[in-house]
Amino acid sequence: MNHDILDYLADRVADALLAKQGDNKSSMGIEVRYYTVDEICRMLHVSKATYYRHKDMGYITPAKYVGRKPLFTQESMDVYLNHFSS
């Protein structure tokens, strides 16, 4: 299969997952919100280049992947922010 088609399908599945945010409950019944790379870059005020550098350094780790698309939770971002707090 063509990689472009696979990327397209992964994006569609991720978009569908994000659209069903209200259906995402953890095992404890708490709603889980997933964020894309673009959303976390905007919320954390970092560029995509900084995101990828910090990802390679292990500072931030996606909570899950849908295809090759990384998705993050608030907990993922909290762990990231804790790397820089003193």
20 against 50, higher pLDDT = 50
> Is the pTM above the cut of 0.85?
no
pLDDT above 90 covers what percent of the chain? 36
Domain boundaries, position 24: 3-82
Residues 36/71, Cβ–Cβ less than 8 Å: yes
pLDDT band at 83 (very low <50, low <70, confident <90, very high): confident
**Residue-level pLDDT at 26:** 54
Q: Residue 63 maps to which CATH number?
A: 1.10.1660.10
Nearest residue to 65 via CA among 34, 22, 24, 19: 34
Report whether pLDDT(41) > 90: yes
What is the domain count for the chain? 1
Give the helix ranges, DSSP H, for the chain.
Answer: 3-19, 37-44, 48-56, 74-82
